[in-house]
Structure 1
């Protein structure tokens, strides 16, 4: 029996910061949008971000991610031109442009005129002896436990990684009542913004740069970890080991863009370390090498949530305009959003992102 296919104007895959803003921008221009997310609630990473954003007002400065998620979700679910489907996993992007979707055991198919892929990113892990012991988590998993469900993963934690996520999660764990033994960072300097790093240093948490984890140990679960120093070539230095008695090890060693659906769609991908891994080539309008397929957020390259929101809005605007919607105010709105995104990527902090983007612009 042939499955029925529903035709839609724009499908947005992923209900995180990029997907929410893409759906809203496209719908505000007049397009009909179906937003699909595999989780049971919208918001993506925003629902676990209890810290305040900083920057300008247009970048949601002084707002907390959890509040931004609630605001955007309310706008999406109340918008007459948006149908939001949660618990809906897009499992296939077929050669004829059809999307296969599973929701609560029901399988159905959509044929969108335009698709915006905003699937986000997954956590990277780290190889070391006993890295499969219970008590070893990714930083995102720890954020979900603590900030969404109010569950502490343990009593004393070693944080591996001193980027923004690692340092922010460290501070959130301190606020929740956990003891942080130390932060370990393989690079010679920390990657987090000083505004975040200063908070954990004032709390007395030591940060060991040019160090990495050597091994974890324990019987049925983590009981401790050994770290050691790295030389200028990134090689471990025997005799520099330090032992920490901890019941939790939290890994914050980066994110990888989730591009499986883009690969299924036939989009050309390139490996760009500055953007987190394999990402799709795209033009200035965020359209990939497959006409009608757009990308936004961490699936396009790992950045902050503020950049994901701006990029999502741009993708939604371009997709809607390509269908004939919102052309009257298109150029002014495009300039506004692009200016906000460019300002987020300006200066020394955004140099890595700008270098990576130069390698993926396809037209």
Structure 2
């Protein structure tokens, strides 16, 4: 029997498994994909320092370290239930039930689907799917495409598609509706994108964006936003155009796009069809936390973290004894943050077992500081108010889930 079962072999899961195994614990990692690495597998970008972040190489490094520590990694395993008896967590999967006193849930994030008429046509995909097809499977998703939805993830993957020689013709917004919400509101989208303006390709855009953070100036800016958009690495970003339908008979042939007013309302009679043979829908990311919910973990809705997240401490433990979380399940951030959080969780689990030769508290302290350091130096944040969200969660934990001595009020397992 394992000491720890890790659900998810992405950056958080692998890092957590490694930290636990380094402290003498027997670890099993489960993942439904055919190979370990999670979202790391599709990531490829150049950082402000000029260095390239190659997620596939990073996942290979983590995998090799895990193998050297004799961590049992099982791919193609889907976990569908997580429940606890008196002392053990029972992890139910398509290949049977495994049990352990501690479980780390590192299931990552999923993409928000934004339904657009015609989205069931072959050639329509989420932007994350386009990233995986391009960077993992080396499959060209098409020759000329349109992205529906403008957010930080859009621009990160746009660059990766361009590096692969794929032509993205334009970026437009989804039609504004109760489902698309802020994703269809030009001013709200602009407000979000301004937080990544320091990465803009021209000095003029970078300087101008500082003025646009003023509410009044931003409203003026969206009023006078160019009809043909502003180019991002050669691809027009058209905040005043909305996709009303994806057209085609047997596959994608184009997108019907309409002009909008400053509030995102479609202007009648302004529709145009732009040709395309593929479409990416970019709705953003949310924490994939269903397993923690099934386990009975309490949740908190924190939009600064991306939505509903399981309640957790700085050491990644939940109110449920022996259940830990790490990575994007706790809030949408980068792969580097996920790795750092996984390390914290792995060390915290080791501490529960009395491991660490008296140095575990110091290791945990350094690991927590590492998360803060990585966050401070992050080039972009998927959610601009991430620090505010983390602060809220810390306050919730300290006021609701610790006693007067600052300790969790339940009995330790291990």
TM-score, scaled to structure 1: 0.87
1:176 and 2:209 matched: no
Tell me the distance in 2 between the aligned counterparts of 1:240 and 1:274. Answer: 35
Tell me the distance in 2 between the aligned counterparts of 1:30 and 1:315. Answer: 15
Closer, same or farther: CA 300–327 of 1 in aligned 2, 3 Å: farther
Moved more, 155-164 or 338-347: 338-347
> Whose radius of gyration is greater, 1 or 2?
2
Tell me if the contact between 1:128 and 1:215 (Cα under 8 Å) persists in the aligned partners.
yes
1:280 and 2:280 matched: no
1:194 Cα shift?
A: 4.6
Tell me the distance in 1 between the aligned counterparts of 2:53 and 2:190. Answer: 32
1:140 and 2:128 matched: yes
Tell me the distance in 2 between the aligned counterparts of 1:54 and 1:310. Answer: 20
1:125 and 2:113 matched: yes
Tell me if the contact between 2:11 and 2:338 (Cα under 8 Å) persists in the aligned partners.
yes
| Residue 226 of structure 1, aligned match among 256, 262, 286 | 256
Tell me the distance in 1 between the aligned counterparts of 2:232 and 2:267. Answer: 29
| Aligned pairs for 1:94-243 within 5 A | 94-96=83-85, 97-102=89-94, 107-185=95-173, 186=184, 187-189=189-191, 190=193, 193-194=196-197, 197-198=200-201, 201=231, 203-243=233-273
Closer, same or farther: CA 125–132 of 1 in aligned 2, 3 Å: same
| Residue 248 of structure 1, aligned match among 262, 275, 278 | 278
Tell me if the contact between 2:7 and 2:103 (Cα under 8 Å) persists in the aligned partners.
yes
| Residue 68 of structure 1, aligned match among 51, 55, 58 | 58
Secondary structure in 2 matching 1:360: helix
1:122 Cα shift?
A: 1.4
Tell me the distance in 1 between the aligned counterparts of 2:20 and 2:366. Answer: 16
Tell me if the contact between 1:136 and 1:248 (Cα under 8 Å) persists in the aligned partners.
yes
1:78 Cα shift?
A: 2.0
Root mean square deviation, CA, Å: 2.5
Tell me the distance in 1 between the aligned counterparts of 2:273 and 2:247. Answer: 10
Tell me the distance in 2 between the aligned counterparts of 1:192 and 1:132. Answer: 33
Tell me if the contact between 2:44 and 2:53 (Cα under 8 Å) persists in the aligned partners.
no
Deviations 1:229-273 (A, max 9, x none): 444444334355443111111112211211111111100112222
1:62 Cα shift?
A: 3.7
* Equivalent residue number for residue 393 of structure 2: 360
| Aligned pairs for 1:18-33 within 5 A | 18-33=12-27
Tell me the distance in 1 between the aligned counterparts of 2:360 and 2:29. Answer: 22
Tell me if the contact between 1:115 and 1:293 (Cα under 8 Å) persists in the aligned partners.
yes
Moved more, 174-183 or 36-45: 174-183
Secondary structure in 2 matching 1:51: strand
Secondary structure in 2 matching 1:68: helix
TM-score, scaled to structure 2: 0.77
How many residues are matched? 348
Tell me the distance in 2 between the aligned counterparts of 1:212 and 1:221. Answer: 21
Deviations 1:46-104 (A, max 9, x none): 11112245579xxxx64311110111111112213x211112222211242211122xx
1:193 Cα shift?
A: 3.6
Tell me the distance in 2 between the aligned counterparts of 1:238 and 1:314. Answer: 54
Moved more, 44-53 or 340-349: 340-349
Closer, same or farther: CA 327–239 of 1 in aligned 2, 3 Å: farther
* Equivalent residue number for residue 295 of structure 2: 265
Give structure 2 stretches of 5+ with no counterpart.
174-183, 203-229, 399-414
Tell me the distance in 2 between the aligned counterparts of 1:172 and 1:311. Answer: 26
1:8 Cα shift?
A: 1.9
Closer, same or farther: CA 237–288 of 1 in aligned 2, 3 Å: farther
Give structure 1 stretches of 5+ with no counterpart.
1-6
Tell me if the contact between 1:268 and 1:280 (Cα under 8 Å) persists in the aligned partners.
yes
Tell me the distance in 1 between the aligned counterparts of 2:119 and 2:99. Answer: 43
Moved more, 230-239 or 257-266: 230-239
Tell me if the contact between 2:315 and 2:368 (Cα under 8 Å) persists in the aligned partners.
no
Tell me the distance in 1 between the aligned counterparts of 2:144 and 2:195. Answer: 22
Moved more, 87-96 or 345-354: 345-354
Tell me the distance in 2 between the aligned counterparts of 1:130 and 1:225. Answer: 9
